[in-house]
Chains A and B, each alone.
Chain A
Amino acid sequence: MSREVEDRNRRLLRARDAMDRAYAEPLDVRAVAAVAHVSAAHFSRSFRAVFGETPHRYLQRRRVERSMFLLRETDRSVTDICLDVGFTSLGTFSRTFREIVGETPSAYRSGHGPIVAPNCVQMLAMRPLGAAGAAMRSRESAMGSSSFGEAGAAAVP
């Protein structure tokens, strides 16, 4: 039994790594689930059981973290950064950013400068937590959804 758990964890971790590596690309839940060798529906459920949040939410927080990094470190426009980190619509990006970070991308940029810490440390430690309530809502709405793209956004006020 325990070997099965370890093997499942390792496969799900490989899928999580794939999201961290390819967050800028359009990711489809089926493709990421395939990295873990499970079906899309089973993937969301078991990912959440192992890592405490849905893959959709994990990817959102990664994309928002990378956008925060670019807002701090570069002069690129908010629209360019939105596309750089894998969002396809500025509206969804702004709404997701505000929900997770608590302020708009522009407001965040004006209040923060570059952080002198290794990039891998930033990726590891600075993925924003977001509000617990919002995380719950997004988690519920992402259950059974078939795409990472805009899924879950409808449940966010």
Chain B
Amino acid sequence: MITRVNVATVWVLDKDEALDFYVNRLGLEKSADIRQGDYRWLTVRVPGDAGIEISLEEPGPPIQDEATGAQLRELITKGAMGSLVLQTNDIVGLYETLKSRGVTDFTQEPTANFYGTDMGIRDPFGNPIRVLQRAKAAQRATV
């Protein structure tokens, strides 16, 4: 039986720039940062949560050949890759914090829905990120 998600990967165009965005702007924390020769295993996570890690990975060699890497980079910048969905306990506060940290690529302002209030952001490369504050009823239902 599978018991939990351990690592999920977000493809980025540049690991340093990704680290700056995901940590200094979005507010995640750096987890693993291990170099092995030319390769850098870099992950971030929700602060204090040693469970799920988000691996920041660059397309191209040695993971893929140059041409495949170029295709992937093109898809990332078109916004065609999958979405990361995060949770917060204060969506409006986070929205204001992100703006004060210079985040401008909002795809949706905080919007109320029956399941909670959520907003959309893009990382510097085009990857979509959603952040949700669950509605109280929905929170109770899953506790």
Which residues of chain A have a CB within 8 Å of any CB of chain B? 2, 5-7, 9-10, 13-14, 16-17, 20-21, 50-51, 118-120, 124
Main secondary structure of the interface of B (DSSP, over half): mixed
List of A residues within 8 angstroms of B76 by Cβ: 6
3 closest A-B pairs by beta carbon, nearest first, are A9-B77, A6-B77, A10-B77
Give me 18 A-to-B residue pairs in the complex whose CB atoms sit less than 8 angstroms apart, sorted by A's number.
A2-B74, A5-B77, A6-B74, A6-B76, A7-B77, A9-B78, A10-B77, A10-B125, A13-B77, A13-B79, A16-B79, A17-B79, A21-B106, A21-B107, A50-B78, A119-B113, A119-B118, A120-B120
Q: Which of A6, A21, A51 contacts B73 (CB 8 A)?
A: A6
* Contact call A9/B70, Cβ cutoff below 8 A: no
List of B residues within 8 angstroms of A13 by Cβ: 77-79, 122, 126
Main secondary structure of the interface of A (DSSP, over half): helix
List of A residues within 8 angstroms of B79 by Cβ: 13, 16-17
List of A residues within 8 angstroms of B113 by Cβ: 118-119
* Contact call A17/B74, Cβ cutoff below 8 A: no
Q: Does residue B111 face the partner (Cβ distance < 8 Å to A)?
A: yes
Q: Tell me the total A-B contact number using a CB cutoff of 8 A.
A: 50
Q: Which of B106-128 contact A (CB under 8 A)?
A: 106-109, 111, 113, 115, 118, 120, 122, 125-126
Which residues of chain B have a CB within 8 Å of any CB of chain A? 13, 70, 73-74, 76-79, 83, 105-109, 111, 113, 115, 118, 120, 122, 125-126, 130
- Bound form: Cα–Cα A118–B126 in Å: 21
List of A residues within 8 angstroms of B106 by Cβ: 21
A121 to chain B, nearest CB (A): 9
